[in-house]
Structure 1
């Protein structure tokens, strides 16, 4: 009985040892996301989505605490197993176990909720790449020979995600990997070759049937919103109208005309930022952006102070993931980037996204212990 009572105290103690600024920003974004989800869905579902959001947040925080409880050496030793589990989940999506939602076969349906393995892949790729790149004997930038294993580690989940196809998650994984590779550095001729190859991949994606028809429609609507006036073009136009109507301080929570009128489909997921823009106004929207970027800054702060290669690589890769995903989501809400279905970290509704974001917070807390143990 005493052990059962002390467990919540241990969880709270672990969270208290985490970087306070990072924890506060992540918790603040989570709370804001639940409120915005509630506002966006109250007119059709009451408090149902908000309650699920709270449950997802509680599970996410528990997952973060569990990861923090691991010894950093144990976490690194588990990296291959975590990576393998993520690959198996990505493979499972492509079997009859997978489900197609919104045009992409990216989900596994289980009783009560859905799992998106591409979110798990972000966490798995972070620890796998950090494990592969850490503690190199050669201080020189990576050449092609040294890049073979890291690129293979990236290529396998990336290929499986493109087969779904999930272009947005593929972009995030790619730039997460680029962030990690920047820590040891890459030789110039390799960077030039990688840039050329990336341009070729984009060309193939745009001009061949690799992308699903709905994804090509999204890209066309980005170039010319009138090309799909009743589909994604309409949705993006409504999102921009909602954000623009918020003014400086917004129309008030639960008071936005577009949000409460239900003019924006799936507003609580991909386009939740439009709720902030309309109902909280420019000040509230800037506050959300500031918190997202503050999370990135604190991750980089932990990386800068770390004396351990694995810890530094983990934090930089996570920072790359969060900054890319944040900018992509904001860009598609503002009409500056194509709609790719990438969620806004901590804020967009979705269990898989919430779990992966809080798992990332747990990773930062875990690798912080490396520095503390050395100082001790």
Structure 2
């Protein structure tokens, strides 16, 4: 548990900007969710306030535990993670074409794939810390890859491509921090990206030369509608009433905000419900429409300071294990922010990744706050007490 002397290490600037972001979430939700349930305009604000309050409790509890103690139970946590992900297929409920949630009560569900992010950060950090200095050869990369491949496969099967990509980003970031040979590991990543690119090109090709006809329309382990959602951002006008609709509405919303925005609760795309999922995945579009360029830049500034302090906490850890845990949390936040803003701006595929600490969602908020708790646990123990 905590000693009072450890509080001298607390990064108050990190906590301050965290609270500003949580406050921004409630402010934006008070307009973004106003007309989602017309009979209960503040339903999502009240629910988010509860998720934030309970999330703070989770962060405090996690921060009070020495992050190194999680190493003793690493394989148990890994097993629990796999069990929860597998339970989705046995007991989970389906919605919007995906089976991701396990019902706890009639009105409350949990999403194990969200918690899997933190579980993987904790367990992969221990796995990699034990291999310090032993990630120089290509074959050295195989055990860590297999370690994350199993939970990633279960998540991809749901299907939940967004979370699968988040875990992939966490894995890549933590591998580099663990000391993986940058040339060899980087070369593998580049090669993998090229293979994926060629596979997509072959899948969508319709007029290849005769000697390549046998690979035309190459089958991929995804349904056509899923692939279309991933590629429609390159030309959303090709399907204005279908998969391109989300992107078009989002771009219109952000662009119409101008410099100062249309004003609080004065947006049209969000308030009239033209913009889908505007209280969850597309909440950044509401910020752009109602608060304009100034509002989005202010939010990005809050995120920037928050992330810089988080990076500082990770880099000042007293050991490699703490640095790996901290860097994993940072990678999770950075990837979420970049992809969410990218997809709402129309420059990245729509993958259903929420904006951390801002978008509505219980499992998402709890996962974010558990990550914050891990950072604070590292921060509070960055120096060993000598007396």
Q: Give the alignment's TM-score, normalised by structure 2.
A: 0.87
Q: State the Cα distance separating 1:38 from its structure 2 match.
A: 2.2
Counterpart check, 1:323 vs 2:334: yes
Q: Say if 1:204 and 1:122 are closer, same or farther in 2 by CA, change over 3 A.
A: farther
Where in structure 2 are the equivalents of 1:224-263 lying within 5 Å? 224-263=235-274
Name the structure 2 match of 1:343. 354
Counterpart check, 1:85 vs 2:74: no
8 Å Cα contact 2:166-2:335 kept in structure 1: yes
8 Å Cα contact 2:138-2:184 kept in structure 1: no
Name the structure 1 match of 2:104. 110
Name the structure 1 match of 2:325. 314
Identify which of 344, 348, 356 aligns with 2:367: 356
Q: State the Cα distance separating 1:168 from its structure 2 match.
A: 1.2
- Structure 2: 5+ residue stretches without partners: 204-218
Name the structure 2 match of 1:178. 172
Name the structure 2 match of 1:216. 227
Classify the secondary structure of the residue corresponding to 1:232.
coil
Name the structure 2 match of 1:37. 29
- Structure 1: 5+ residue stretches without partners: 1-9
Give deviations 1:198-229, integer Å, cap 9, x for gaps: 44356657843522444223124212212321
Quote the Cα distance in structure 2 between the aligned partners of 1:15 and 1:354: 25
Quote the Cα distance in structure 2 between the aligned partners of 1:204 and 1:114: 36
- Of stretches 100-109 and 44-53 in structure 1, the one that deviates more from structure 2 is 100-109
8 Å Cα contact 2:281-2:359 kept in structure 1: yes
Classify the secondary structure of the residue corresponding to 1:105.
strand
Name the structure 2 match of 1:281. 292
Q: Say if 1:359 and 1:189 are closer, same or farther in 2 by CA, change over 3 A.
A: same
Give deviations 1:148-189, integer Å, cap 9, x for gaps: 332121111111111112111111110111110111332323
Q: Say if 1:205 and 1:24 are closer, same or farther in 2 by CA, change over 3 A.
A: farther
Quote the Cα distance in structure 1 between the aligned partners of 2:365 and 2:7: 17
Quote the Cα distance in structure 2 between the aligned partners of 1:35 and 1:192: 44
Where in structure 2 are the equivalents of 1:293-312 lying within 5 Å? 293-312=304-323
Identify which of 20, 24, 34 aligns with 2:16: 24
Q: State the Cα distance separating 1:64 from its structure 2 match.
A: 0.6
Quote the Cα distance in structure 2 between the aligned partners of 1:133 and 1:322: 20
Quote the Cα distance in structure 2 between the aligned partners of 1:170 and 1:312: 23
Classify the secondary structure of the residue corresponding to 1:373.
coil
Give deviations 1:54-110, integer Å, cap 9, x for gaps: 001111111111111112332222332222212111111122x12222222222222
Q: State the Cα distance separating 1:289 from its structure 2 match.
A: 1.6
Q: Give the alignment's TM-score, normalised by structure 1.
A: 0.89
8 Å Cα contact 1:103-1:212 kept in structure 2: no
8 Å Cα contact 2:314-2:322 kept in structure 1: yes
Name the structure 2 match of 1:157. 151
8 Å Cα contact 1:240-1:335 kept in structure 2: yes
Quote the Cα distance in structure 2 between the aligned partners of 1:363 and 1:235: 35
RMSD of Structure 2 on Structure 1 (CA)? 2.4
Name the structure 2 match of 1:272. 283
Return structure 1 stretches of 4+ with deviation > 4 angstroms: 12-17, 201-206
Name the structure 1 match of 2:59. 64
- Of stretches 284-293 and 212-221 in structure 1, the one that deviates more from structure 2 is 212-221
Quote the Cα distance in structure 2 between the aligned partners of 1:137 and 1:107: 36
Quote the Cα distance in structure 1 between the aligned partners of 2:7 and 2:235: 47
Name the structure 1 match of 2:213. none
Quote the Cα distance in structure 2 between the aligned partners of 1:375 and 1:297: 28
Identify which of 171, 189, 193 aligns with 2:188: 193
Quote the Cα distance in structure 2 between the aligned partners of 1:216 and 1:222: 11
